[in-house]
Amino acid sequence: MNTYASTAPVETTQKLGKTGVLIVNLGTPDSPAVPDVRKYLREFLLDGRVLDIAATTRYFLVNGIIAPFRAPKSAKVYRELWTETGSPLKYYGEVVERELQKALGSDYVVTLAMRYQSPSIEAGLTRFQRLGLNSIIVIPFFPQYASASTGSVYEKVMDIIKSWQVIPEIKFINRFLEHPKFIQGFVQNGRKYMEKRAYDHYLFTYHGLPERQILKGDVTGKVCKLGDCCSKLHAMNQYCYRAQCFETTRRLVKELGISEGSYTTSFQSRLGRTPWIKPYTDEVIKELAGKGVKSVLAFSPSFVADCLETTIEIGDEYRELFEEQGGEHWQLVESLNDSPIWIDTLVDLVKTA
């Protein structure tokens, strides 16, 4: 007879801890004041994945030229963008943080972070570290993967957690351009304007990148031609930012029922003299107006929250350029911001991670 046998029921812990969800957007200055804008520009441009040049050159270029001279000009633009609730990008991020937490429930802890400035990724991860979480899911708010955006978030997260004694299971959401609800969110926003009037042309404009960054991503050195190679997304170019953007356009065009020949994919926000991915949005606008296009509906599917690049650059500056060239009606389709379908998209991404 085994005197050590127990008749007590065996108990197992089914749920040891919660899952942390770190949602990460690019970032914003703490205020539109020149010192805060300068601080933001320095952190952003000193990132080796953003300005991918020699570290010493980058340091002197950013601190000696770009930040000192660009900050006052950028501060003026940020003042135009700022609202009573502050930076739109940060405001929408805070709303999404609350709504996503409600939608996911008590088994999850949702925290907003910015790649640059506050709230920081380090602060979010430190919070998670102290909670004894089961796992962490990191969702960069970039629909298309790029080394300068999603890749930078990955690097920052890994740089922080590498010193932890205990590293929980960590999952990264690489991209979500293929998610049906992400596409449907922009479709819903676009249809609101399409139902009110007819447009001569539809423009899908994405944040640009230097061509060298796209070429460096082609580890074979044979696939990327910065041209028709982006006409289809496949295994060998699936991480090419340019190819992903064209794929996003194709999915949106299909759902919106836009006919061939009446839309264009382009890239904005280029800086410096080195070549950036083409076609350039400002040049496309001039060409469209020159061809007699009088009305344009513009989408910005590389941004999930309205910010300086959407509201000011696309919404105001490109409208002015279009009108100067003879255009009559320019309409920007708003980003997903804090819409219910964007919250649903994030819930799906978390649950299927």
pLDDT at 273: 86
Q: Which residues are annotated as a binding site?
A: 207, 309
Is position 38 within any domain?
yes
Does 10 reside within a domain? Answer: no
> Is residue 169 located within the same domain as residue 284?
no
Q: Please list the alpha-helical segments (H only) found in 266-339.
A: 281-290, 318-324
Claim to verify: residue 61 and residue 101 sit in the same structural domain: yes
Note down the domain range covering 347.
19-176+340-352
Residue 21: beta bridge partners?
110, 137
Q: Are residues 319 and 237 in the same domain?
A: yes
- Domain with residue 325: its CATH number is 3.40.50.1400
Residues 6+ apart with CB under 8 A from 183: 177, 248, 251, 252, 255
Reading the chain (353 residues) residue by residue, the pLDDT tens digits are 455 454 555 555 456 789 999 999 999 999 999 999 999 999 999 999 999 999 999 999 999 999 999 999 999 999 999 999 999 999 999 999 999 999 999 999 999 999 999 999 999 999 999 998 999 999 999 999 999 999 999 999 999 999 999 999 999 999 999 999 999 999 999 999 999 999 999 999 999 999 999 999 998 999 999 999 999 999 999 999 999 999 999 999 999 999 999 999 999 999 888 999 999 999 999 999 999 999 999 999 999 999 999 999 999 999 999 999 999 999 999 999 999 999 999 999 999 99
**pLDDT at residue 9, rounded to an integer:** 56
Q: What is the pLDDT, as a whole number, of residue 272?
A: 82
On whether residue 81 sits in a domain, the answer given is yes
Task: Count the alpha carbons within 13 Å of 331 in the hemisphere toward its beta carbon.
Answer: 19
Annotated binding residues for Fe(2+): 207, 309
Q: What is the pTM of this model?
A: 0.94
Structure tokens at 73: 């000009």
In this structure, the answer to whether residues 187 and 320 fall within a common structural domain is yes
Domain total in the chain: 2
Q: Which H helix or E strand runs over 266? A: strand 263-268
Is 105 in the same domain as 250? no
- H or E, element range at 202: strand 201-207
> Kind and range of the H or E element at 31?
none
**Residue 28 domain-assigned (yes or no):** yes
Residue 4 counted as domain residue: no
